[in-house]
Structure formats: C-alpha cells, structure tokens
Amino acid sequence: MDIEARAKMDFGSGDTIRVWQRVKEGDKSRLQAFEGLVIARKHGRESGATITVRKVSSGVGVERIFPLYSPTIEKIEIVSHSKVRRAKLYYVRDKAAREMRKKMKQLTRVEKVVMEKPPEKQENKEEEKETDKK
C-alpha cells in the first residue's frame, strides 16, 4: 500500500474497517484480515501513527494496535462510517453491543479501498490506442 494513499485515507474513530496484514509463518506467508471498530487513531499523519481496532470474537473482545505505515499491512478497507462525539472510544470496552449501536449514528458512504498499485498503465495504453487510431 502506498504511503501517500494511507495518509489520505478518510477514517477515524467510530468507523468499521478491515485491515489486511501479511503474516509470515515459517517459510510461508498469508494474508490475515482483521475487521472491527476503530476506537483510537493516534499521532495523526506522522510516521509513527497507529490505529486501535476492536472486535468481539466468540464473546471475547479483541483489540489490535496497527502501525498505520507498517510494511506488513497490505490494504485497509473502510467498511462503514459512523458519527461519534469522541476521538477516543475507550468506553466501548465496558458497553454492550446494543448500547453502542444507539450511540453511533450510521452514515452511508461509498466503500473505499486503497490498493498497492493503481491501474494507471491500462489507462495510458487506452490513450495510446486512441491516438494511434487518429
């Protein structure tokens, strides 16, 4: 994932995101997805920026802290946006899921996915074909 693209990503506390991380096990590597609620985003856009993502798996709350510019993160998908009134949602740890749905205002936006390499080469080829036809 491109560093400039990560800096421009429009997500914050209250949004649900899916983080794809490359996990190396022995001599094999695979992609692992972690989908959950962003409860904190720290250090803004600087190189040490982190996001804290929380999900409930089998009735147990799981939180992971991802460095935003880590090379192991392949892509970040924004699943849904929600409007919240706090920058840090640490109180979510003590709340039930039903209470949280009432607190968050769901917003409808288009899902954005930032990929590693944008398909710019295909557009250039199409433009070359159009100029060749003329």
How is the chain split into domains, by residue range? 3-133
Structure tokens at 110: 């288009």
Label residue 27 by pLDDT band (50, 70, 90). Answer: very high
Largest Cα separation within the chain, whole Å, is: 66
pLDDT at residue 115 above 70? no
Tell me the two tokens of residue 68: 């935003």
pLDDT in tens, 89-114: 998 888 776 776 677 666 555 556 66
Distance between CA 58 and CA 14 in Å, rounded?
A: 21
The hierarchical CATH code for the domain 3-133 is 2.30.30
Answer whether 72's CB lies under 8 Å from 22's CB. yes
- Helix (H) or strand (E) holding 35, with range, is strand 28-42
